[in-house]
Each structure stands twice: as structure tokens, then as C-alpha cells.
Amino acid sequence: MRFVVNFKWIVPSVVGVVGSLLVSTSAAYAGTLQNWRFDSNQNRLVLVTDEGVQPRAQLIADPTRLVIDLPGIQLGQSTLRQSVSGAVREVRVGQFDASTTRIVVELSPGYTLNPEQIVIRGATPTEWSIQLPTPQLSQNPTQPPSNPRPSPTPSENTPPGSSGVAQIQDIQTVTDGFFIRTTGGTPRVSLDRNRDRDELRIDLRDARLASNLDDRTLQVNSSGVESIELNQRRRDRARITLNLEDEDINWVASVAPNGITLIRNRLSGDRVVTSRTPVATTPPSTQPPTQPSPPTRPPTQPPTQTQVTQVESVELDRSGQRLLIRTNQPFRYRTERDRSTGAFNIIIPSARLADSIPDPQLDRNSPLRRVRLRQETDQSVVIQVEPAANVQIGEANLVSQQLLALELQRQNTPSRPNPPSAGGLPEVRSGLTVVLDPGHGGYDPGAVGRGGLEEEDVVLDVGLKVAQILEQQGVRVVMTRQGDTDIDLEPRVQIAENSNANIFVSIHANSISLSRPEVNGIETFYASPEGARLGRVIHDSMIQFSGFNDRGLKSARFYVIRNTSMPAVLLEIGFVTGAHDAPLLADSDWRSQMSVAIARGILQYLSQNY
């Protein structure tokens, strides 16, 4: 669906109000925000919820902010921030009230938006994109303040600084680095690299993160840094981790009463400099200090066996059914599941990784997609495990006092009827045209499910296979995309109209929270009586073949089926997040068989109506 937001032009201190936006014929239900991202290259915000939502938007001036409310949607965590360079300064996501998530896109000082050019589109009731026009400098741009700071975040509640404990308020991009703004006390800072030198860890003692920063990851893509992770390790100790793109560049941290400046250092070694003189209230100079003090490092002496456990190896056993973690002495551990990603974490306190510990060897047939070993703190190890699409992580059990086994259970491929034969398909007259529309593509992967299974790959493969079958039956097929390309909703409709198509079939895969693996099944959407008749035939063919849960034939106002003049349907061929559906959607052979079922339904409809 595509909606143009009709704002009134905003003057300072006046809020523009957007009219009601129609998402679908069904009401929005309480749900959660599953994921979001802002593409700074295209000025586009993309968000996905697990239930249908009706966004509300408004534009606020001084500074210019686009505020998008998602009623009935909960964030389920603290405020998130994404720092952006250029005209767009920052994107923030927070819980505005108990039942509303608020997204704020804030522009840099002096920039504004033409509200008539803001476009909100819904690919489905749970997938939305907000396209911003190119920000323009206002006619009377104001100069940025000498110490810029973001405007308050929705639901932000930062505790006031206490004596002796620094409050970390935000992170700003500066030339060749970053400025960490603090209030209250001055933290003690130390720098350390991991073994692979792709992470720089900044430990801050006597420091506390603002509530909106704790346990957050900021995508920055600046100064050779891909992202920044922030965590409150203890009540008075925080850690900031830079995930580095350039492992050979060293860094220097300059500490002052109002903040910490991290600068790419052309000298050797990562080092810390402490300012003992008063400084201005603006971020410190971006030039590296000329007389750095000796590097501050964690203790290098190996811990005694009775104090700290050493993790000596992490590897799969020969059967591929268990991940084995070996240590040099008895140890304690705890586990947690990350429901947003499906990852499983094993946390071992009072432990360190052995210096020569190798990464587990995984191949395309391994039960695990990725295993990441992290020295989370000076004395804490985290082993993060991501399963393959058809693998369920079981219990972690101590085999001996020095050996932990994580059980891995391959799920049997669900039983299914005999595959449909491509032979004996309904015959159709020549000269008919079908437009096939594999959803998403390019920058937009669509839904991401179990084991990293991406919707755009599944539906493109199915679409191409359906096209091949139809063409073998003499049908002219036009594809809206034939590769991993980005195509908007309106061009998809125009392709169908310009092709004089007889029918239009959009192919998608469904999703919900990874914490809801029991949700599985096929559903088909239509926007007209003719679309309903087409949808019924294809839907029944898919259900008959797959044995999937039948979630029904439903009316909806998706843009691509509402704005095409020919009979049109949108197919949701299964859930990439479903414990039953995902392993099959990831199976190329099964996708080939589903393609036969879809093609059979299309041909049956064409033979009955043309």
C-alpha cells in the first residue's frame, strides 16, 4: 500500500497533524516492534511489527523532527538510537506510553523537510516504509549550538548525575572519532583490544549509562567503526565496544570533565590521556594528544587456576549433535535465549578465553549457523550460538566438572503429501499474460526468520520456478524482479498495467516473533471479487499440496493488489519464523514442489476464465 502524508507546512513551534492512515480492513491488534532500520543513503525508514498497525505521523519544528506513533505496539525494551551523519542527525525509537511506540527522525540544525513529499507505504499491515524527501536548508538556518545535544528521547528518564559517578549521556560523531558526553564525575578509562583486533573495548569505571543507552548497539559506519555496543556491566562500571572495520588503526582516548574523545591515532598503541585542567563545554579537539601517558591495560598475568576458569576449547562432537565446551577446572555457568534473534548464550563468570583457542569449524551441513566467542568482561566469557534453520537448541548439561555439552536437535522434515506432478497440468489458450511479483528485494530483505532465512530469497526462487512452469505451458510471464533488486510498489503495479496482464500474483512469506515458533501456515489476500475467485483456486492448490495450516483467504488493501486493474492476489506461502514452515521454506526441493502447486492453481483459473 502507498499513502502520501498530507501535512500542512510547518512553521516554528507549530505541529502538523497527519490525517488518518488506512492500513487494512482489520483493526490493529496489540503487538511488538520486531525490527527497524534507517537507510541513510535513501532517506528511508523501514519497520516491521508482528501485528497489523495504523501509523500516525506529525512533523515538529525547531529542531525539525518527524514523529511516527505506532498505536497498539510495544517496544519491549529501552529506547534505541541510531546516529546518522549529514542532514539527518539521529533516529530514536522509544515507548511513548503503555500502548504506543514512538519513532523520532531528527534532522540536523538548519535543515527541514517538505511535508507534502513524505510518503508512507505499507507492503503488508506489518511491514511499512517511510520515505523522506531530501532535507533542505531552511531559508534562515540557525547556527548549530556550540555543544550540540540530541533533543529528549521519548520516555527517556536519565537519572541525575551523582557525586563521583559519571553519567554517560550520548555519543556524537566528530572528525576522526567520537565524543562521549558525560555529566557528573570523571570516569576512569581503560582501552583493550580482543585477540582478532576487530573490537576496541573501552571500560569506564565510576560510570553509569543513561537508561536509553544500556544494552544498545548503535550503527555508525564512521571513522572505520561499523557499530558501537554499550553495556552496564556493574552498577558503577560501563563498557563501550567499537566494532572496527580497520583493525590496523590505533586509538587514543582523551578524558576531560565533560566527556571522553576517542580519536583514530596515527601513533602506535591504544592509549588514554587524562585532562587535569578545566576544559570548554564543547567537545575536545579532535587532534591526537602530543604527550600521551602510558597505555592503561588490564592485568596481563594469567589468573591462578583456583581463581579464574580458562575456557580451553569450544567444538562440535563427531556426531554433530552436541557443542562441547571444555575448561581447565570446575566452573559455573548460566544460559539465556535471545528471542529477537533466536541465538542462545552461555555465560561463564570468572573465566577467560585461552590465548590459542580456535573458533569452531562449521560447514554448510553444520547444525549451527555461527558460534561467537567473546571475552565479555575481564572475567566473563560469553559463547553465543546461532542454530541452522532446521535445528533446535536443547539443554546445556555438565558432562563432567570441566565439560559442558549443549544439545542440538535436528528437526525432522515435516511429513507432506506426495509432490504434485508438473505433468497433466490444465491446458490454457495461447496469448495469456501473467505477472509474477516476488516481494521485497535489494535493500529490503523482507522478513528474516529462523537461522537467518530471508523472505526475499525464498519468494524469488519460488517466483522464478513458477514462471518456468507457466512458460512451458505457453503462458507469457512478466516478472517484476528477476534478481536481488530494489523495486518500489508503484513500479510493480505499472509493470502489470503496461503488460496488459490477465492476472497479477504477488508472492510473499510471512513472519511473526521468533518467540512464537508455533505460528505457521498459508494465507492468501485479495482486494476485489475477481481477486477472491483467483485467490480461492491458488490457495486451495497450495493447501492441498503442502498440508500446511490453512490460515484462510482474506480481504486486504495491499497496494499492489488494490491498484491493479486485473484480478490480483498476494500469497503468504508460510512463516519463515515457524518451527514447522521454516525448514521447508529453506529446502530448495520443497520450494520447487510448492511452485508446481502455485502454477497449477494459476493454470486452473486461466483455463476456467479465459
The cell for 325 is 565446551
Name the region of 410 (left: φ>0; alpha: ψ -120 to 50; beta: rest): beta
Q: Among this protein's residues, is 518 annotated catalytic?
A: no
What would the DSSP string read from start to end of 173-240? Answer: EETTEEEEEEEES--EEEEEE-TTS-EEEEEEESEEE-TTTTTEEEEEEETTEEEEEEEEEETTEEEE
Contact 556/525 with Cβ under 8 angstroms?
Answer: yes
Contact 503/452 with Cβ under 8 angstroms?
Answer: no
Please give the span between the terminal C-alpha atoms of the chain, in angstroms, as a whole number: 29
What is the distance between the alpha carbons of residues 420 and 600, in angstroms, rounded to a whole number? Answer: 9
Residues 6+ apart with CB under 8 A from 17: 7, 8, 58
Catalytic residue chosen out of the listed positions 90, 127, 386, 572: 572
Asked if residue 349 has a cis previous peptide bond (ω within 30° of 0), the answer is: no
**Among 593, 542, 540, CA closest to 422:** 593
Contact 181/145 with Cβ under 8 angstroms?
Answer: no
Contact 606/502 with Cβ under 8 angstroms?
Answer: yes
69: which strand partners? 56, 102
Contact 289/261 with Cβ under 8 angstroms?
Answer: no
Catalytic (active-site) positions: 572
